[in-house]
Chain A
């Protein structure tokens, strides 16, 4: 009887652990997607916005600040970059750095797709090969648990 109770307790505990891990995996996946999309689009908007700015050296500082604030790309780009930073730091509060850093490299894949299909640029074969390697790398990293520090005895 005691053995049966002990066994059911173990079963209950392991089920709870599995549920917690599953919830953590979903949370991690959602935060990674938010971080990657905010990073890619934030970079793109900032780059487009800064591309249209005059030279910093040739423009009076108050006017430069006004142009930055009035630029339709810079503020949304900055907000997206702040969301990226917040998502990444939140991920660090429960997931490994060695898991989060390579996973966020998926931003390069999104940037290549944006270049080809949104900006209409011709992405070179070498860059597609890079995208393929990043996808393979992310697939390998995804097969490891996101928090290995919790596994310590």
Chain B
């Protein structure tokens, strides 16, 4: 693969995970949301969008998604898109070292199994799939490429 392909994969994974870590940090620091009554829903949404770390997390998610779009325009998709499933591992590393979560070996094993499973699933999928960036809009761009996809 070309250097720029690797660079884009790294950007997708790292920016996507940074977005997750920032959102998780922002949400954890504001206390547990407990009132989900329909009349209180506006208040819940307002309390979320007022958290700066969450907004910063969304910016990282958006940059990760744009990197994914750039990757989709140049890369061998059957290799490049499954590689983005590594974001599950990077998320867990971020949770361990930046959020100070205690990651038990069972959780690590689970994360590795999920990563392997997602790689197999997106490699062979022809229907709408999530990608490693886990962004919903990614679904709209992937299926067309997969229909003609196995370049390797």
Contact = CB atoms under 8 A, between A and B. Distances in A.
B128 A44 contact: yes
Contacts of B109: 137, 140
A47 B143 CA distance: 8
- The prevalent SS among residues of A at the interface is helix
A67 interface: no
Contact of B107 (A47, A77, A93, A144): A144
A98 B111 contact: yes
Interface residues of A, number: 60
Interface stretch (A7-15, A58-66, A121-129): A121-129
Contacts, number: 194
Contacts of B125: 111-112, 115, 127
Contacts of B117: 105, 108, 129-137
A115 B99 CA distance: 36
A98 B92 contact: yes
B92 A92 contact: no
Given A47-B143, A127-B124, A101 B130 contact: no
Interface in B99-127: 99-104, 106-107, 109-127
A141 B21 contact: no
Nearest to A50: B140
A43 B101 contact: no
B65 interface: no
A101 B20 contact: yes
A100 B45 CA distance: 20
Shortest 5 CB-CB contacts between residues of A and residues of B: A130-B120, A137-B113, A133-B117, A47-B128, A140-B110
